């Protein structure tokens, strides 16, 4: 009850400006995508799009979007989805609850990402499942990897935040609301700390942390904190990209991104869920 009340009170200052009707990104071929929907433990039926790999599928990727009006469209607009599909990956993009075409129900975004992963795993059980997250999606994706039944064997997390206060300090109104929430329900905030959840990830996944040296929201120090926080629970690599801001590694450093991320993701190649 307390969590539902806080969600109703706090959602607007945190995410109100991003919650707009979703539209297809300009130039995206809609016929190449299949509509998907699935239930999340957050209480929402989430809206997604399934894009089949070109050629033999290597693995399946779940893409967890950053905060923003584009929601799942970020991955289409910025070119990640097309890049991955051309490289042989099935792709699932989806809207977290309250974003895009998914109704607002809860702050339990890790539950949304876990639900997306389980749906993707069930869609093609012969393929392994990886996670690609950016900012909001990277931090909550890390938390999802610490939950029971996580199917994610590998993850690329760009611009992940260690804690909510670390990220929201750049937004004064939201940061003030967060301080109130911590005072009213301290256990709730503690439950959603990627830095605390990192050591709990299941299945010994491989993780690539990417941070831009021009990122004021999640600077490289955040990546170094998270790398330490995994404490042996995952095999972790950290890369800092020069001249890159928040969530724009592919846009601003495409050759470096492609040369590192695609081979890393291809480690998923092989049959079976292990």
Instruction: Give 97-112 pLDDT, tens digit per residue.
Output: 999 999 988 889 999 9
36 φ/ψ angles, rounded to the nearest 5 degrees? -140, 155
Q: How far apart are CA 181 and CA 163, in angstroms?
A: 14
What percentage of the chain reaches a pLDDT higher than 70?
Answer: 82
- 80 or 182, greater pLDDT: 80
Q: Retrieve residue 148's tokens.
A: 């029971």
Task: Give the neighbor-by-neighbor strand order of the sheet with 152-158.
Answer: 34-39, 45-51, 89-94, 59-64, 129-134, 152-158, 206-212, 235-241
Q: How far is CA 197 from the centre of its chain?
A: 15
Q: Domain spans of the chain?
A: 2-20+42-268
Name which of 206, 229, 209 is nearest 220 in CA terms.
209
The string of pLDDT tens digits covering residues 197-255 is 999 999 999 999 999 999 999 999 999 999 999 999 999 999 999 999 999 999 999 99
User: What does DSSP say about strands 34-39 and 45-51: parallel, antiparallel, or unpaired?
Assistant: antiparallel
pLDDT at 19 (0 to 100) = 73
Which of 156-170, 178-192, 216-230 has the lowest average pLDDT?
A: 178-192
274: which strand partners? none
pLDDT at 164 exceeding the cut of 80: no
Place 21 in a pLDDT band, splitting at 50, 70 and 90. confident
Does residue 111 contact residue 41 with C-beta atoms inside 8 Å?
A: yes
Cα angle vertex 201, ends 118, 238, to 5°? Answer: 110
Q: How far apart are CA 152 and CA 81, in angstroms?
A: 18
2-20+42-268 adopts what CATH topology?
Rossmann fold (3.40.50)
Place 3 in a pLDDT band, splitting at 50, 70 and 90. low
- 39 or 174, greater pLDDT: 39
Residue 82: CB atoms within 10 A of its CB come to 17
* Neighbour-count burial of 122, counting CB atoms closer than 10 A to its CB (0-12 exposed, 13-18 middle, 19+ buried): exposed
Number of residues in the chain: 274
pLDDT at 27 (0 to 100) = 81
Q: Retrieve residue 256's tokens.
A: 């470096």
Residues 6+ apart with CB under 8 A from 66: 74, 134, 135, 136, 137, 138, 159, 247
Does residue 171 contact residue 220 with C-beta atoms inside 8 Å?
A: no
The DSSP annotation for 107-135 comes to S-HHHHHHHHHHHHHHH-TTB-EEEEEET
Place 78 in a pLDDT band, splitting at 50, 70 and 90. very high
Place 16 in a pLDDT band, splitting at 50, 70 and 90. low
């Amino acid at each position: 009850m307390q969590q539902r009340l806080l969600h109703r009170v706090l959602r607007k200052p945190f995410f109100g400006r991003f919650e707009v009707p979703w539209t297809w990104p300009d130039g995206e071929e809609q016929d190449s995508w299949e509509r998907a929907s699935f239930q999340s433990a957050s209480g929402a039926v989430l809206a997604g799009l399934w894009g089949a790999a070109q050629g033999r599928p290597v693995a399946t990727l779940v893409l967890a979007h950053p905060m923003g009006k584009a929601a799942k469209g970020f991955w289409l607009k910025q070119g990640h989805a097309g890049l991955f599909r051309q490289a042989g990956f099935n792709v699932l993009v989806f809207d977290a609850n309250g974003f895009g075409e998914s109704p607002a129900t809860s702050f339990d975004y890790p539950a949304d990402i876990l639900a997306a992963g389980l749906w993707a795993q069930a869609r093609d059980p012969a393929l392994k499942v990886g996670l690609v997250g950016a900012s909001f999606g990277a931090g909550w994706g890390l938390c999802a990897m610490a939950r029971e039944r996580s199917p994610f064997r590998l993850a690329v997390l760009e611009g992940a935040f260690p804690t909510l206060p670390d990220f929201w300090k750049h937004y004064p109104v939201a940061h003030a609301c967060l301080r109130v929430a911590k005072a009213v329900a301290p256990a709730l905030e503690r439950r959603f700390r990627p830095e605390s959840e990192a050591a709990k990830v299941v299945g010994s996944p491989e993780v690539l942390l990417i941070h831009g040296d021009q990122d004021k929201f999640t600077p490289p120090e955040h990546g170094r904190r998270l790398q330490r926080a995994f404490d042996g629970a995952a095999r972790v690599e950290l890369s800092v990209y020069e001249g890159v801001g928040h969530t724009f590694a592919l846009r601003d450093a495409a050759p470096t991104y492609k040369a590192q991320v695609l081979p890393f993701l291809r480690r998923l190649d092989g049959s079976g869920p292990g």
